[in-house]
């Protein structure tokens, strides 16, 4: 079962689970995935429902593994209505966790946010035992779900793992959503559109390719070690200005950049310590930002209206 299986990460995960021999069911608000139809879509049981609702809950029955990828908000919008953020994400997630206990799910794997749960870093790279003091509602609801998973692991013996993922990118990312600087910048550069940056461009982030994230999820299925929480990122810090330079060299064209006032919830630097994932999951990122950008640019050019 993949909650959020029709999304950017979810589709890739569903496809790889099918390849690994699993029977796959997806629950999402839209039901069927967006984009150009793929042959493997017919092998997935697509269900349209919100997490934790009467429609979604019965779908867990008979499921061995549950992946929770769904979220109704984004870091940049969650503070606009913190009550909605909590109501639409936390309450439904807790109901879903309760259903997983009743249905005797073998393992629940949750995607948390390595970019927001830590808040203002006291050190970089950031280890998993770093204090968690999020400064946006999105990070708070992710952290709260982590705590409920801990509660149900301790009291109800529900096996669960949490992957705190950094800034994810890759082709086929939904460019209408207010997240994903790498994909957004690349798409706009290829299509000759101006790029907006909040602040002076010195903010540094940890960018990880979606295919590497999927590999981490697959590794977590069979993990039998003592840990329950893992940072998943590149382990590399890149500023927005450096990202622009990497894109500019590859598209070889003039890029118009508009710098806007900084946002209060943007931390200056965030890069994850991924040593635990390397040791315990035998996972390391395999796609560098440079290679990922080459793939993105090729994909953006193939879909550009100018081609």
119-170 pLDDT, tens digit per residue, is 999 999 999 999 999 999 999 999 999 999 999 999 999 999 999 999 999 9
Rank 56-60, 215-219, 249-253, 265-269 by mean pLDDT and report only the highest: 215-219
List, in order, residues 6 or more apart from 225 with CB less than 8 Å away. 280
Whether the predicted pLDDT of 292 surpasses 80: yes
Distance from C-alpha of 46 to C-alpha of 38, rounded to nearest angstrom? 14
* Residues present in the chain in total: 307
In this structure, of 1-10, 33-42, 174-183, 288-297, the range with the lowest mean pLDDT score is 174-183
Question: Which architecture characterizes domain 170-205+236-269+287-303 according to CATH?
Answer: Alpha-Beta Complex (3.90)
- Fold category of 2-168+207-232 in CATH: Rossmann fold (3.40.50)
Which residue intervals of 106-258 are DSSP H helices?
137-156, 181-190, 210-221, 240-251
- 172-176, 197-201, 216-220, 303-307: least confident range: 303-307
Is 259 assigned a catalytic role?
no
pTM of the model: 0.95
Q: Is the pLDDT of residue 307 over 80?
A: no
Residue 242's alpha-carbon distances to 103, 116, 186, in angstroms, are 48, 21, 13
| 208: Cβ contacts below 8 Å, ≥ 6 apart | 165, 166, 167, 168, 169, 232, 233, 234, 285
176: pLDDT strictly greater than 80: no
Q: How much is the mean pLDDT over the chain?
A: 93
The dihedral through the CA atoms of 123, 124, 126, 129 has a sign that is negative
Catalytic residue among 74, 118, 138, 148: 138
What's the whole-number mean pLDDT along residues 230-253? 95
Q: What is the pLDDT of residue 175?
A: 61
Distance CA 293, CA 169 (A): 9
- What pLDDT score was predicted for residue 301? 85
Angle at 60 between CA 55 and CA 66, to 5 degrees: 125
What is the pLDDT at residue 50? 86
CB 85 within 8 A of CB 137: yes
Q: Does the pLDDT at position 171 exceed 90?
A: no
Q: Where in the chain is the domain with CATH 3.40.50.720?
A: 2-168+207-232
The larger pLDDT score, comparing residue 85 to residue 172, is at: 85
Residue pLDDT, tens place only, 148-159: 999 999 999 999
Per DSSP (E only), the strands in 11-62 are: 24-28, 44-48
Task: Give the span between the Cα atoms of 289 and 234, in whole angstroms.
Answer: 9
Q: How far apart are CA 211 and CA 208, in angstroms?
A: 9
C-alpha 50 chain-centroid distance:
18
Alpha helices in 56-209 (DSSP H): 82-86, 92-102, 137-156, 181-190
63 C-beta neighbours (distance < 10 Å), count? 17
Q: How far apart are CA 262 and CA 277, in angstroms?
A: 33
User: Rounded to whole angstroms, how far apart are CA atoms 50 and 57?
Assistant: 9
- Widest pairwise Cα distance in the chain: 58
**According to the model, what pLDDT value does residue 55 have?**
79
- Residue spans in the chain of domains classed CATH 3.90.25.10: 170-205+236-269+287-303
For the cut 60, the answer to whether the pLDDT of residue 230 exceeds it is yes
pLDDT(258) > 50: yes
Q: Looking at residue 265, what is its pLDDT?
A: 82
């Amino acid at each position: 079962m993949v909650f959020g299986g029709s999304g950017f990460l979810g589709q890739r995960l569903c496809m790889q689970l099918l390849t690994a021999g699993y029977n796959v069911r997806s629950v999402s608000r839209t039901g069927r995935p967006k984009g150009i139809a793929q042959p493997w879509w017919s092998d997935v049981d697509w269900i349209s429902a919100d997490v934790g609702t009467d429609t979604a809950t019965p779908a867990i029955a008979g499921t061995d593994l549950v992946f929770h990828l769904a979220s109704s908000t984004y870091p940049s919008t969650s503070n606009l209505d913190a009550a909605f953020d909590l109501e639409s994400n936390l309450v439904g997630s807790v109901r879903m966790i309760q259903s997983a206990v009743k249905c005797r799910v073998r393992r629940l794997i949750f995607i948390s946010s390595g970019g927001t749960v830590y808040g203002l870093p006291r050190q970089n790279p950031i280890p998993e035992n770093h204090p968690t003091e999020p400064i946006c509602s999105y990070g708070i609801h992710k952290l709260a779900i982590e705590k409920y998973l801990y509660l149900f692991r301790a009291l109800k013996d529900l096996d669960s793992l949490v992957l705190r993922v950094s800034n994810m990118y890759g082709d086929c990312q939904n460019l209408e959503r207010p997240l994903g600087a790498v994909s957004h910048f690349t798409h706009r550069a290829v299509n000759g559109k101006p790029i907006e940056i909040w602040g002076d461009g010195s903010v540094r982030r940890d960018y990880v390719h979606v295919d590497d994230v999927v590999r981490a999820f697959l590794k977590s299925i069979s993990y039998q070690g003592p840990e329950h929480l893992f940072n998943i990122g590149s382990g590399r810090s890149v500023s927005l200005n450096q990202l622009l330079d990497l894109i500019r060299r590859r598209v070889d064209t003039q890029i118009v950049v508009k710098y806007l006032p900084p946002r209060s919830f943007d931390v200056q630097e965030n890069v994850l310590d991924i040593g635990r994932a390397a040791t315990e999951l035998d996972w390391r990122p395999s796609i560098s930002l440079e290679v990922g950008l080459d793939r993105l640019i090729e994909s953006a050019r193939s879909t550009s209206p100018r081609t």
